[in-house]
Amino acid sequence: MHDCITRHGGLVWGVIRRSVKDSTAAEDLVQEVFTEIWKKAAFFDAAVASEATFIALVARRRAIDFLRRQGRQPDFEPLEAAGSIPASTASAPSLNCDPEAVKSSVASLPDDTRQLFRLFFDEGFTHPEIAEKTGLPLGTVKTRLRRGLITLREQLRRVGIPTPQPAS
């Protein structure tokens, strides 16, 4: 293996670096290539291709697989670079709400919905736990909570309290 790395290390490095710009990732890939060559050495056939071609193809496949994996991952950027507001200065809608308006809006909801709100928001039960505790079907629990939140949001908008937009 030492001879293989000595003879073909530059070839593998060149193939990987043409595709992968991050040097740390490229170094990891070079290591993976030589590990794969070690495991798949029995597949090498001198009648089909030269040793260098076999090694270059393994390197190329590894680089392509890496790029495909990278393409499936979302691009992350630091929050400062994204232009976001630091958490200490951001104002959440709940901080701007009039607690009395929220309390009166919740009080206007039907009793069964208020009970579900209490279990979910105050006591921290999950949807399945609420369904078990109340004897309601899970779908009913989820629907009533969702409808209650929609009603609450509409009521708060009517009194002029800003609410977050629902996810589509």
Name the more confident of 70 and 112: 112
The topology (CATH level 3) of 2-72 is Rna Polymerase Sigma Factor; Chain: A (1.10.1740)
Q: Which of 77-81, 97-101, 160-164 has the lowest mean pLDDT?
A: 77-81
Residue 143 CB: number of other CB atoms within 10 A? 12
What is the per-residue pLDDT across 136-147, written as a single tens digit (0 to 9) for each? Answer: 999 999 999 999
Name the more confident of 129 and 85: 129
What is the DSSP annotation of the chain? -HHHHHHHHHHHHHHHHHH---HHHHHHHHHHHHHHHHHTGGG--TTTS-HHHHHHHHHHHHHHHHHHHHHHSPP---TTTTTPPPTTT---HHHHS-HHHHHHHHHTS-HHHHHHHIIIIIS---HHHHHHHH---HHHHHHHHHHHHHHHHHHHHHTT---PPPP-
Q: For a pLDDT cut of 70, what percent of the chain falls above it? A: 80
C-alpha to C-alpha distance for 53 and 40, rounded to whole angstroms:
14
With a cut of 90, say whether residue 127 has pLDDT above it: yes
What is the per-residue pLDDT across 39-87, written as a single tens digit (0 to 9) for each? Answer: 888 888 889 888 889 899 999 999 998 888 887 766 666 655 545 455 5
- The confidence band for 93, taking pLDDT boundaries of 50, 70 and 90, is very low
Average pLDDT over residues 27-50: 88
The topology (CATH level 3) of 97-158 is Arc Repressor Mutant, subunit A (1.10.10)
Give the domain ranges of the chain: 2-72, 97-158
pLDDT of residue 163: 59
- Say what the pTM is: 0.42
pLDDT of residue 106: 86
Instruction: Return the sign of the alpha-carbon dihedral for residues 84, 89, 95, 98.
Output: negative
What is the per-residue pLDDT across 6-25, written as a single tens digit (0 to 9) for each? Answer: 888 899 999 999 988 888 88
Name the more confident of 44 and 162: 44
Average pLDDT over residues 86-114: 70
With a cut of 90, say whether residue 157 has pLDDT above it: no
